[in-house]
Structure 1
Amino acid sequence: MNTPILTGTGLWTPENIITNEELVESFNAYASQHEGLALSSVEFVEKASGIQRRYVVDKAGVLDPERMKPRIEERPDEEWSIQCEISCVAARQALETAGRSPEDIDGVIVGCSNLQRAYPAVAVEVQKALGCTGWAYDMNVACSSATFAVANAVQAVQTGFARRVLVINPEITSAHLNFRDRDSHFIFGDACTALLIEADAPQGWEILGCKLATAFSNNIRNNFGFLNRCHEERAQDADKLFRQNGRAVFKEVVPLVARHLQAHLDEVGIPVADVKRFWLHQANRHMNDFIAKMVLGREATLEEAPVILNEFANTSSAGSVIAFHRYHQDLAPGDRGVLCSFGAGYSVGSVIVKRI
């Protein structure tokens, strides 16, 4: 059986940044014109989440109190789609880091919460745009899409079904966020990440194991889909955007993820004390603090559990990969770490790695 190695990562971010101050000003301008809506504040946003700013594909549309959603032009079918475009940027970075070319790739998996169309698969479009051969497909496990996609790539590499697989997470979350909802208008940001998984590479991060789990819950839900057009009266209702029961999610997901991580480390035979770094899903600073404390038995340092959501907000499936992309270079050969993502479904996925 081949040994799967993570050899490269890439990151694309939009040029536009929205600060909490700008976002709150826009929300309050809207709320002040609608009786019964409570105002938001920078203090509320930062205390609730740890988020300070976010990147978005369009700033003006989001901040316009009369619109409060991004303006994204629909492109002709003959042009590369926006998700294909940003995927190629992140993918080329990952390939460059690994010293590979598109012709070396056997498979492309696009995993994200927010696919812009039903078909053809964005992954197949990316495959064509990059110049890869082989196969490609899309998958959606919400915020856990990256780790679930990595697990699929690992299985393909281990069994010889592929030698090299690109995993890409193009998240345009600003398009599914209800910027008129005080409890969630600040949560998300846009980004795209990519990882390259290879067989038996001499350098990189050996993937020691993957573990996936799901448990159905309606506490994080988005009802958007092609059936919406069949019920015109409700096609634009708020449930067609992101919504969650935040308190229930916190109460249920934190112990779920902590138990999952401990079980995975036990299965691989690695003591928690031997894990140098946890690259956790970046949804909420308090969630990550509690998860790390439950796993470690103490509070984690920023070195042990890096935080990027203060800058990026919740980028859905891309978050844990951004954390890895930003904070792995300082680890030494033999050091071990865990990528972990979790979210709607519920779903949780973890990938244990060791630097070669």
Structure 2
Amino acid sequence: MTHAVIAATGLFTPEQSISNAELVTAYNTWAEGWNAEHSAQIAEGDVQALTPSSVEFIEKASGIKSRFVMDKAGIVDPARMAPNLPERSNDELSLMAEMSVAAAREAIAAWGKPVSEIGAVICAASNMPRPYPALAVEVQQALGIDGFAFDMNVACSSATFGIKTAADFIASGSVGAVLMINPEICSAHLNFKDRDSHFIFGDVATAVIVESSDRAGPGGWDVLGTRLKTVFSNNIRNNFGFLNRAAETTEALAAPASSSEAVGQTDKLFVQQGRKVFKDVVPMVSEMIVDHAGDLGLDPQALKRMWLHQANINMNQFIGRKVLGREPTPEENVIVLDEYANTSSAGSIIAFHLRHEDMAAGDTGLICSFGAGYSAGTVFVRKRA
């Protein structure tokens, strides 16, 4: 019976990066200026002074030490505190398509087959540059792929939802191979004036080629099973959309999350209730992994490797302990967020792409993502001979 195989992956990493120290310097400089400007209101108790950030705070809260970004200058400029990404003309390849194509070309080269064998392109990411035409169709054209293409958004879980969708296409016989891409410019929807989240995200793009087992050559990964889950929650949210007034969108970049003028505006960028998310998501994902493994006849404690969504080191370590029943080794529970930060949908694919070469035929692993929605996806894979 035909089943899906993960045949190859690709990764695009921006050339620019920002260390925690650089990010803290920018934030604290801006916060000091804001506190000085509002000193009278702070003295009267009308507004609360902004608390400085620190490298120690960031690393303890997240495990992040640096992040790659598409524009460093705008982010570390205390007068701007946002990336500067000029809009391109309609006749130019869009920035997110450019990132996607770079990751896709690496995956295609590793695959070693012509793009004519790809029948579909799925762009699965947390934010798209526009409602239409679909970014996936733009990438499809840039790579010279026939067939069809479409975008999908399940926030940080988009990649596993994309793999599941690709696997279903292959199982139905619709196509023989699918290119699934995850371009993420997360820095563009992050509020760098919010101390509690200014350090979370980075930018990157990943690509995965999923093909049918009857076409696949040696190597790659058999997809043993995929499972998806969603539960509605407001605890992670981004309200930016075409119904927002342009003035509100501009103001969201100008006011700190703790200021009164920001109420109803900063939610047009990334906002979350971190402690509530941890409390809700960690047990949900841990239970989902164990249940799915059991249904597939797998022992979760025997997993060779877990490539989890790179959200927060505390979440990943907790889930690792729950699934394996002990403290995982760094080889078993891959962490790349210290270097890449949270890259939304791309995080688990980065981990998989960078940390799988040492595994032997027959070894079993898990690609898992979780995030806003709430949403979660599990993809169990086994190394092919």
Q: Which amino acid aligns with 1:205?
A: W
- Runs (5+) with no aligned partner, structure 1: none
CA apart distance, 1:233: 5.2
TM (normalized to structure 2)?
0.91
Aligned residues of 2:359 and 2:383 also touching (Cα < 8 A): yes
1:246 aligns with 2:271: no
Which residue is equivalent to 2:6?
6
In structure 2, what residue type is equivalent to 1:9? Answer: T
Q: Secondary structure at the match of 1:211?
A: strand
Aligned length: 355
Q: Is residue 2:219 matched to residue 1:206? A: no
Is residue 23 of structure 1 aligned with residue 23 of structure 2? Answer: yes
CA distance in 2, matches of 1:312, 1:57: 12
Matches within 5 A, 1:33-52: 33-35=33-35, 36-52=49-65
Equivalent pair of 1:51/1:310 in contact (CA under 8 Å): yes
Q: Distance in 2 between matches of 1:5 and 1:227?
A: 40
SS of 2:314's equivalent?
Answer: helix
Q: Is the 8 A contact 1:224 1:241 kept in 2?
A: yes
Q: Distance in 2 between matches of 1:38 and 1:160?
A: 56
In structure 2, the gaps of 5 or more residues are 36-48, 252-264
**Residue identity in the other structure for 1:240:** K
Write the mapping of 1:319-330 to structure 2, written as runs, cut at 5 A: 319-330=347-358
TM-score by length of 1: 0.98
Distance in 2, Cα, partners of 1:46 & 1:96: 36
Residues 143-172 of structure 1: CA deviation (Å, up to 9, x unaligned):
000000000000001111010000000000
Classify 1:206/1:110 alpha carbon distance in 2 versus 1 (closer, same or farther; 3 Å): same
Look up the equivalent residue of 1:103 and give its one-letter code: S
Give the equivalent residue in structure 2 for 1:275: 303
Q: Is 1:280–1:341's contact at 8 Å kept on the other side of the alignment? A: yes
Aligned counterparts of 1:272 and 1:146: Cα–Cα separation in 2: 21
After superposition, the C-alpha distances for 1:76-131 in whole angstroms (9 at most, x for unaligned) are: 00011011111001001111111122222100000000111100000000000000
User: Which deviates further from its counterpart, 185-194 or 267-276?
Assistant: 267-276
Q: How far apart, in 2, do the equivalents of 1:185 and 1:295 lie?
A: 30
Cα offset for 1:3? 1.6
Distance 2:117 2:21 in 1: 45
Q: Is the 8 A contact 2:64 2:341 kept in 1?
A: yes
Root mean square deviation of aligned Cα:
1.0
Separation (CA, whole Å) in 1 of partners of 2:56 and 2:301: 35
**Identity score, percent:** 55
Q: What SS does the aligned partner of 1:253 have? A: helix
List aligned pairs for 1:302-321, cutoff 5 A. Answer: 302-321=330-349
Question: What residue is the counterpart of 1:113 in the other structure?
Answer: 126
Cα separation, 1, equivalents of 2:379 and 2:217: 19
Q: Is the 8 A contact 1:228 1:235 kept in 2?
A: no
Residue 301 of structure 2 contacts residue 325 of structure 2 at CA under 8 Å; is this kept in 1? Answer: no
Q: Distance in 2 between matches of 1:104 and 1:13?
A: 26
2:158 aligned with 1:145: yes
Please tell me whether the aligned partners of residues 302 and 324 of structure 2 are also in contact (alpha carbons under 8 angstroms). Answer: no
Q: Report how far residue 351 of structure 1 moved.
A: 0.3
CA contact (8 A) 1:2 1:159 kept: no
Task: Please tell me the residue identity of whatever aligns with 1:247.
Answer: R
2:145 equivalent in structure 1: 132
Give CA-to-partner distance per residue, 1:162-191, whole Å, 9 cap, x none: 100000000000000000000000000000
Contact 2:81 2:192 in 1 (8 A): yes
Letter in 2 for 1:143: C
Tell whether the 8 Å contact from 1:11 to 1:194 is kept in structure 2 after alignment: yes
Provide the C-alpha distance between the structure 2 equivalents of 1:311 and 1:334, rounded to a whole number of angstroms: 30
State the secondary structure of the residue aligned to 1:209.
strand
Q: Distance in 2 between matches of 1:273 and 1:51?
A: 27
Decide whether aligned partners of structure 1 residues 233 and 97 sit closer, same or farther in structure 2, where only a CA change above 3 A counts. closer
Kindly state the Cα deviation for residue 273 of structure 1 after the two structures are TM-superposed. Answer: 2.8
Match 2:107 to one of 91, 94, 99 = 94
Shift of 1:59: 0.4
Larger Rg: 2
Does residue 201 of structure 2 align to residue 188 of structure 1? yes
Q: How much has 1:234 moved relative to structure 2? A: 6.8
1:295 Cα offset (Å): 1.1
Distance 1:104 1:215, change over 3 A: same
Distance 2:199 2:305 in 1: 27
1:290 corresponding residue in structure 2:
318
The residue aligned with 2:182 is: 169
Q: Deviations over 1:219-269 (max 9, x none)?
A: 00000000002x845764211000000010011111011001001101111
Shift of 1:274: 2.4
| Helix, strand or coil at the partner of 2:8 | strand
